[in-house]
Each structure stands twice: as C-alpha cells, then as structure tokens.
Structure 1
Amino acid sequence: MSWLLPAIGLLSISIACHAAEGDSKLGAGLVNPGYHEKPDWFKQSFLDLQEDVEAAAGEGKRLLLYFHQDGCPYCAKLLRVVLRINGYYPPHLFETALDYVASHLEQKQSFKHYLADVAPVPSSGTLHQEESYLKYPLDLRSKTRDTDKPLLVLIEQKQCVACDELHDSILSDKAVRKSLKGFDIALVDAWSKKKLTTPDGQQVPATEWVDALNLYYFPAMVFFNGQGDEVFRTEAFLKTFHTHAAIDYVLQEKYRTQPSFQRYVRERAEHLETQGIKVELMK
C-alpha cells in the first residue's frame, strides 16, 4: 500500500464526543482515555480545509479526511492494521479504495463496479436466503407486506466473504436472531437485474436501486420504518455487538430520541456493563 500514500494527503479530525459531554477524565500525562497515536506522516493542519485541498492539489495529491474518536476499537484497528471510507474496511479493500481515489477513477466507473473488478476474494459464492425472508418477486411497500413491522433490506453479493461472516457468525447469534423477529427481512442481490418494487413504489432492477441508494460496500443493511421511509443504514464491516446495536436501534425506535448512533452504542454498552454483562466490541 505504501506506493499509494504519496498520491494522497491524509488529515486526521477527532470527534470528541466523550470529552464534550464531560463524562471522561484525562489519564496520566493528560491523555484522553482510549487515545491512539497517529502516524507521524499525517498532515498537521489548522483545519482550514479549503487551504488543505489547494495545498494537496498543488503537489498533485488529493486530500483524504480521517474522522476518528478516542476509545473507538474500529479506529484503533484501522490505525494498527490498515491505515475508513464509511466504516471499517479490511486491509485489501482499503488499499483498493485508496487506489481508486489516488488514480482519479471516479469519472470512469463507480467504486461499486471497480471494487467488483479488482478485489475478488474467495467466498461461498451463494446468497444466504432464509425461509423467513420475503420471497421474489419482491414488493417492499409496507402496504403489501400485511404487517406493521419495520423492514430490513440486506444488500449483498454472491462473491462476498463479509456476507458469509454476517450470516454464519453474526446473524446466527441467538440474541441477534431474537431481535430480527421484529423485522420483515428482504435479501437483495446487489448485481441482480430482476425487478423489484421499492418501499416508495418504484419498479426497477435491483442493481439500479442499489446504485440509487449510493451503496458501495457489501453487505449493507438498510432499515425502513413502517411507512417505508429509510431511517438507518450500515455499510461497513461491523462485528456482532455493533450489528446487534444497529438492529435494536431501529427496532426500539431509539433513532427518534437519540439521533447519534455512536452515543446510542456507548449508552447501550454502559447499560449492559451495569448489569454485569461484559461487552466485547470486536467479537
């Protein structure tokens, strides 16, 4: 990956959620809890982003913004293992994303198609359709589903290791499956040309709907309320705790009172720990 870095200037921006709310204390040496040392080649900036963009352009580079939060396990793994697009990407996918941006390929093809072309990895090669999922032809309108349940659309592809892991290791978890009973679930092939009816009533090929949703990473989970409005989505690599949190965030309609999913996750973890339940963020 190192040969890509000269083509991209990387700027780190901290999301100081904990400190802003005054619920964390500085540790020895006045260091925030969970602080992660950034590589010394990150740009030191006054956060005048227009100036940073111009400076990068003057050196033939592009500017990459890295948003992080102290205490975030995904941020720590990102710094230790790879260097996030929208969520944590495994190393081979992150390198592919850097290549896409550094080579100015966005004018030639979408990242979704570029990723499929250059980053195939061994996988089961099948979609994980379950008996309880909605059947084709898919009609995702709430009035045709005869329930008042929210809708979870799993958008996946056949050659997808992360999709395999999602079903084999995460959605198969007993507690997660219990929460999933509160949803109507549809599995959509990101590349399928079969037509479906979207929650807002459009009849389009599945792959065109996926493009319209601006999804680039699979598996993605897109949640809709009982009225057919999208209320939340995940489109990055998440382990069991965060996946379950996303499901309950929608199922319990916590997004209505807590618009910040990050804060909801932290509050959920703290609540579990007060009950003596150990929270494993990366399992």
Structure 2
Amino acid sequence: MAVNHLPAQRLLLPGLLLASACLFNTAGAQDAANATAPGAVTGGKQTAHPAWFKESFLDIAEDVSEAADDDKHVILFLEMNGCPYCYKMIEENFKSGPDSDFIQSRFDVIALNVRGDREVALDADTALTEKALADQLDVRFTPTLVFLDQHNTPVARISGYRKVAEMKQVLDYVDSKAYQQQSLGDYLQEQRREHRRQLGYAFREHPQVSSAADVNDLSRIDGPLALLFEDNACSACDDLHAGHLARADVQQALAPFTTVRIDTLSDAALIGPDGGETTQRQLAADLGVDYRPTLVLMDGPAGDKQEIARIESMLYRYHFIGLLEYVGGGHYRDYPDSPFDYIDAKTAALISAGKDVAIADE
C-alpha cells in the first residue's frame, strides 16, 4: 500500500503480542543438539473480571434496553487473553479503583474477546462472532472500550489503558449524556482548560524535541515527523518524559524523526504538515487528538506527510519502541496493514534467536 494512502493506525493501547509458534525441523540428532533453544515472551497477565460484570447472552440490543430501563449505559470491554494493558485497566479502574462503585451503579459492562468465537447479536439484523465484531469496530488494540447510548449507538470510545482520573472524565461524559451536546474531544478540552492550573504541568526539555515556535513550518520537514501533543493540563506527560523518553533505547528509536511539540491549548499560528495555515490547537482538533500525550508518527515527502501510526495511550517500552521503529525505520512499507505485523515478526525473530521478549515493564 502506498504511503500516501496508508490508513492511520491508532495506538491507544495494543494487546498482547504473541509471536507465532516457531516450528523446527531437525535433520538428525546433531542438528537438534546444535539448535538454539527458543526464547520466550514474558509479561502477559491474566485477570478475573469483577463479579458485577454483566453475564450477557450477547444480545446487545436487549442489554442496552435493560440498561436504559435503569437509566444506565452499556460498555463493551473488548480484550485479549494475557493482555497486560487489559489487566492493568481491570485492576486499577474496575476492581479496586475509587470509581468502581460508580461504574457498577451507572454502567453495565460486557466483556468480549477480540479473538473469540461466541456469537454476538448487535441488533435484530446483525449477528457475528466476537472476532468479526472486533473487525467491524476496527479494534486494533486492547483494551478497547465502546460506550453505547440508550439507543444502541456508540457515543464514546477509549483505545488503550487510561489512568483512573482520565477514565472518570469519559465516564462522566457518557453518564451525564454530554454526548447529546458535544463531542468527547470538545468535552475533554473544556476539562483541560478548567484543570490546567490545578495540574500545572510544565513542558519538559528534551534534546530530541523541538517546540512548534522553533519549527514553525511543518511542511518543510524532510523524513519521518513525530508530533508530540501535550499541554499544561496533561497528567501523564511527566511520566512519558521521566520514563520512556529518558531511555537510550527509546532515544535511538526516535532518532530518525524530527520531533516537534504541539501545545494543544495554544492558538499560536503554524504551517501544518500539508502546508496549510493553522494553529497548534486546531491541528490537534483536525487530527482528532483527544489524549495527552499523543505521538502522531508521519512520513512522506515534505509538504505531503501522511500519518502512519499514533501512540495515544500508555504503552510498555517494547511496544513503544516497536511503533517508533515501524515508522522511523520504514517498516510500514513491508507491513502496510498494521504495525503489529511488524512487531510480531520482530518478536518471532528474537524468540527464534533464543532471546526472551518482555512485553511489559513490570
């Protein structure tokens, strides 16, 4: 697929990447003795759902109707077995978090396996497997949470892990039915403007990150471009800078990029990647950037950059580096359908070489 037409891959939160099983054919006992012992994937985690998750017959329209009778909403929690991000989301937001009782009282949560074969009836006319539903919803990463209104229409979506406070903002947006008046992006932007003084995040210097004030014309940049969207109401930006961006292996993966910080609350003018006049705030809106920090990874000729992938949720380092390599190393040309095809191939190669792969940092 040509670069200019490659669809954006949105990384909220990828699921567990397990390499395909490696098959070894031995020509004899000597070959077997000399064979390299395969490595292993570590870091996968399994959790049990809270007992109050709904035991659904997977007739979603009926589930929505039952929830509406109690003035509640339905959350479809799409997950994958062994996914460390799903584990973290369940443990911190649903099982023991401060909002657990609120979620239980105001939402019916239905867990679905993105690789599952159970039949799901969306409505009277549409029945398909869990796996097919994940494809229809364009679920690329786990966990993905789809919030349904009381007419069985999706009104909000979370791709990937969210901290408790960030999750609560989306819960409030849906529970208050603010979706009837504004988009989730606009709602979150208002929340940031209200809380930025309280949070008080100050942009952190980084040797590989330039400000939009210094690189004002994004259309003139040659080579891969990484747009780092932050603002001073960002609750996770410090973690990104103190964590991944401080590591030498991440900095090596970031080296092919020109990385520019975009302040999503700023009305300062700049020239966008396409050569059009815009502002930092408007560029974030045009790209549909709701989460902070988000890294939008682009490539293509100067003046015609296209988004190849984005990181818009907490990722462990292995996946974070894999996404940077996918774009910065040009691997999207060989694996045009998904960055996970590249990361899976990388994982398989490491395992076959006898190296262990840790997909989680803890």
The TM-score, its normalising length taken from structure 1, stands at 0.77
Which residue matches 1:63? 74
What's the CA shift for 1:43?
Answer: 2.2
**Structure 2: which amino acid aligns with 1:62?**
H
Which residue matches 2:275? 201
Distance of aligned partners of 1:270 and 1:39 in 2 relative to their CA distance in 1, 3 Å threshold: farther
2:159 is paired with a residue of what secondary structure? coil
1:86 to 144, 153, 159: 159
1:261 to 339, 347, 351: 339
Kept after mapping to 2: 8 A contact 1:196/1:203: yes
What's the CA shift for 1:193?
Answer: 0.3
Distance 1:189 1:104 in 2: 28
Q: Which moved more, 1:59-68 or 1:191-200?
A: 59-68
The CA RMSD over aligned residues, in Å, is: 3.0
Report the structure number with the largest CA radius of gyration: 2
Which residue matches 2:119? none
Which residue matches 1:10? none
1:72 to 66, 74, 83: 83
Which residue matches 2:355? 276
Distance 2:240 2:261 in 1: 13
Q: Which runs of structure 2 are paired with 1:220-235 in the superposition (5 Å)?
A: 220-227=294-301, 228-235=305-312
Distance of aligned partners of 1:123 and 1:113 in 2 relative to their CA distance in 1, 3 Å threshold: closer
**Structure 2: which amino acid aligns with 1:268?**
K
Which residue matches 2:49? 38
Distance 2:253 2:90 in 1: 32
Distance 1:16 1:81 in 2: 18
1:104 to 160, 177, 189: 177
2:249 to 175, 178, 191: 175
2:321 is paired with a residue of what secondary structure? helix
What's the CA shift for 1:99?
Answer: 1.5
Distance 2:354 2:271 in 1: 43
**Structure 2: which amino acid aligns with 1:248?**
E
Kept after mapping to 2: 8 A contact 1:56/1:62: yes
Distance of aligned partners of 1:17 and 1:43 in 2 relative to their CA distance in 1, 3 Å threshold: farther
Kept after mapping to 1: 8 A contact 2:199/2:235: yes
1:93 is paired with a residue of what secondary structure? helix
1:184 to 250, 255, 258: 258
* Greater strand fraction, Structure 1 or Structure 2: 2
What's the CA shift for 1:250?
Answer: 1.2
Kept after mapping to 1: 8 A contact 2:230/2:237: yes
**Structure 1: which amino acid aligns with 2:163?**
P
**Structure 1: which amino acid aligns with 2:268?**
K
Deviations 1:158-179, CA, capped at 9 Å, x for gaps: 2324111212221121011112
**Structure 2: which amino acid aligns with 1:139?**
D
Aligned residues: 255
Give aligned-pair identity as a percent.
27
Distance of aligned partners of 1:224 and 1:105 in 2 relative to their CA distance in 1, 3 Å threshold: same
2:266 is paired with a residue of what secondary structure? coil
Distance 1:53 1:23 in 2: 40
Q: Which has the higher contact order (CA 8 A, sep 6+)?
A: 2
Kept after mapping to 2: 8 A contact 1:155/1:188: yes
For structure 1, the 5+ residue unaligned runs are: 1-14, 25-32
2:189 to 103, 113, 132: 113
Distance 2:50 2:21 in 1: 27
1:140 to 200, 207, 218: 218
For structure 2, the 5+ residue unaligned runs are: 1-14, 23-43, 95-144, 146-157
What's the CA shift for 1:252?
Answer: 2.5
**Structure 1: which amino acid aligns with 2:55?**
Q
Deviations 1:82-139, CA, capped at 9 Å, x for gaps: 1252210011221222122111123445232243156669766322344544452521
Distance of aligned partners of 1:123 and 1:280 in 2 relative to their CA distance in 1, 3 Å threshold: farther
Distance 2:208 2:193 in 1: 32
